[in-house]
């Protein structure tokens, strides 16, 4: 190795890391000014983590290479204090290049959002399990964010000092220090290779992204009568078969509902064991077809409507038109199955600010008061999400054909009633509407 130059590997790693750091700092400033509702923020955040982990890996490689390879001697004419300052600056750089991405990993490790860390969507990176978020994870996360910013500013300041010193050596002292790190063809090729590999990682990340599910219009959150609420939102075509007997819509069958239903389903025993309601209650007499049933939700974030589904829910249904006073239903929803296809929303929903899936994996709706209302039905009961329970009246329409019932309905909710996104940031900065819409299409087979 030329005594006046670093070797090709060291030069390539030096410039690759330097360019990545500049990009990370610029990207960090840009992301900091974006609201969380910005469509690009989640992707920028994930890529910021991936590039940070890349810097961490390259720094370990650079440090290992330096420990086993001799570096060029500093010019003999340099004063001793300058030599000491140069060596201290280099080792401080190594510390900051290791500490800053590790602090970024600490942020996501204690964050109540519990967003997974994946290197360009290819490799899962475990969180730092030894970190204790304490009684207030959000406060701990904020502290680490501030430390991460301090370290970033320290790198920026040290980088400015380093550049100024290099320019002094190159254009004032002319002592060869600047030339010792000048990239040649080999080093430039190495830097290009690093960025080509990272570009491939970015391409893989975007190629593996699911497409978000967005609604074309804002969900209707105005009050409607039972039949209006469901008729405005018809079920998907593939979930409802053409029918001949339509209880809530056809005037003639509605005049004798008990006869129409009794022909399809015989009444079960009047008293059911383990029913969730007081007094006489029917036994479960409908078996839900999960493959033909859907539970959907919708809202508005950042002025844009979105829709999602709960992929896992169960329903116990005890219903007979002639025994409405003994009919009931119990719906249990796995809140962790909520998905919209939008990575920002989907990564946020399981966290403590929203469904808090870790402590409250299910939400339930139990209705013991089912009655006719106009051309449809009302199921009055209690909805429990996390540890908040509120009375909810659910309007729905019911169609029965050859012993198969299809119930379609929906209800508007105020999400903050259930401590969903009740923090001020979600109410102000994040601009998430407090009104939410839940709709369902449930297909069930009558049980003999």
pLDDT of residue 227: 42
- Cβ 445 vs Cβ 420: under 8 Å: no
User: Are 284 and 167 members of one domain?
Assistant: no
Lowest pLDDT segment from 72-86, 93-107, 216-230, 404-418: 216-230
Whole-angstrom Cα distance, residue 272 to residue 278? 11
pLDDT of residue 421: 87
Whole-angstrom Cα distance, residue 205 to residue 118? 10
User: Are 241 and 331 members of one domain?
Assistant: yes
pLDDT at 267 over 70: no
pLDDT of residue 134: 86
Closest CA to 330 of 271, 400, 283: 283
Structure tokens at 57: 């890996």
**Could you tell me if residue 399 is inside a domain?**
yes
Q: Which residues contact 170 (CB under 8 A, 6 or more apart)?
A: 177, 178, 179
User: Are 160 and 280 members of one domain?
Assistant: no
**Could you tell me if residue 321 is inside a domain?**
yes
pLDDT of residue 430: 64
Whole-angstrom Cα distance, residue 264 to residue 247? 12
Domain coverage including residue 178: 8-207
User: Are 60 and 99 members of one domain?
Assistant: yes
pLDDT at 262 over 70: no
pTM of the full predicted structure?
0.60
Final residue of a structural domain among 148, 176, 207: 207
- Identify the CATH number of the domain in which residue 391 sits: 2.40.128.110
Out of 239-253, 256-270, 308-322, the most confident range is 308-322
**Could you tell me if residue 303 is inside a domain?**
yes
Q: Which residues contact 164 (CB under 8 A, 6 or more apart)?
A: none
User: In which band, very low, low, confident or very high, does the pLDDT at 401 lie, cut at 50, 70 and 90?
Assistant: very high
Structure tokens at 126: 């475990």
pLDDT of residue 272: 61
pLDDT of residue 251: 38
Q: Strands, E, within 341-432: which ranges?
A: 362-373, 376-385, 388-401, 404-414
Counts of helices then strands in the chain (DSSP H, E): 10, 13
Final residue of a structural domain among 174, 207, 240: 207
Residue with tokens 């204090």: 81
Out of 126-135, 243-252, 386-395, 416-425, the most confident range is 386-395
Using only C-alpha atoms, what is the Rg of the chain?
A: 31
Whole-angstrom Cα distance, residue 198 to residue 45? 16
Mean pLDDT of the residues in the chain: 83
pLDDT at 215 over 50: no
User: Are 233 and 202 members of one domain?
Assistant: no
- Cβ 56 vs Cβ 117: under 8 Å: no
DSSP character at residue 169: I
Final residue of a structural domain among 178, 207, 236: 207
pLDDT of residue 415: 93
pLDDT of residue 36: 64
- Cβ 259 vs Cβ 398: under 8 Å: no
**Could you tell me if residue 215 is inside a domain?**
no
Per the structure, how many domains does the chain have?
A: 2
Structure tokens at 103: 């602090």
Tens digit of each residue's pLDDT (9 = 90 or more) over 78-116 = 888 988 998 999 999 999 999 999 999 999 999 877 778
Tens digit of each residue's pLDDT (9 = 90 or more) over 156-166 = 999 999 999 99
């Amino acid at each position: 190795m030329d005594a006046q130059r670093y070797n090709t590997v060291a030069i390539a790693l030096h410039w690759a890391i330097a360019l990545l750091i500049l990009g990370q700092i610029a990207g960090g400033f840009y992301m900091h000014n974006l609201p969380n509702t910005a469509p690009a923020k989640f992707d920028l955040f994930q890529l910021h983590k991936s590039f940070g982990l890349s810097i961490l890996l390259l720094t370990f490689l650079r440090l290992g290479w330096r420990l086993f390879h001799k570096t060029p001697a500093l010019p003999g004419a340099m004063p001793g204090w300058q030599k000491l300052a140069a060596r201290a600056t280099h080792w401080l750089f190594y510390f900051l290049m290791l500490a800053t991405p590790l602090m970024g990993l600490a942020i996501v490790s204690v964050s109540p959002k519990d967003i997974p860390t994946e290197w360009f969507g290819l490799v899962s990176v475990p969180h730092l399990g030894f970190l204790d978020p304490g009684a207030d994870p959000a406060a701990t996360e904020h502290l680490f964010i501030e430390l991460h910013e301090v370290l970033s500013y320290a790198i920026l300041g040290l980088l400015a000092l380093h550049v100024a010193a290099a320019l002094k050596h190159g254009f004032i002292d002319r002592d060869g220090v600047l030339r010792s790190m000048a990239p040649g063809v080999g080093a430039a090729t190495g830097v290009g290779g690093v960025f080509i590999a990272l570009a491939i990682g970015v391409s893989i990340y975007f190629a593996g992204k699911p497409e978000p599910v967005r609604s074309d219009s804002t969900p209707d959150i105005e009050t409607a009568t039972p039949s209006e609420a469901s008729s405005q939102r018809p079920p998907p075509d593939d979930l409802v078969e053409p029918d001949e007997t339509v209880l809530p819509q056809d005037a003639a069958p509605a005049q004798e509902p008990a006869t129409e239903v009794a022909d399809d389903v015989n009444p079960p025993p009047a008293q059911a064991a383990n029913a969730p309601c007081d007094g006489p209650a029917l036994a479960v007499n409908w078996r839900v077809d999960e493959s033909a049933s859907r539970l959907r939700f919708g809202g508005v974030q950042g002025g844009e409507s979105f829709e999602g589904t709960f992929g896992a829910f169960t329903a116990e249904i005890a219903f007979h038109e002639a025994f409405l006073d003994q009919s009931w239903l119990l719906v249990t929803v796995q809140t962790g199955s909520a998905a919209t296809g939008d990575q920002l929303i989907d990564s946020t929903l399981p966290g403590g600010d929203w469904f808090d899936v870790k402590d409250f994996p299910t939400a339930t709706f139990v209705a013991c008061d089912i009655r006719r209302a106009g051309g449809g039905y009302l199921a009055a009961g209690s909805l429990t999400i996390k540890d908040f329970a509120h009375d909810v009246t659910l309007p729905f329409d019911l169609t029965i054909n050859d012993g198969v019932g299809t119930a379609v309905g929906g209800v508007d909710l105020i999400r903050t009633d259930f401590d969903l996104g009740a923090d001020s940031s979600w109410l102000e900065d994040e601009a998430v509407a407090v009104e939410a819409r839940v709709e369902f299409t449930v297909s069930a087979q009558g049980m003999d």
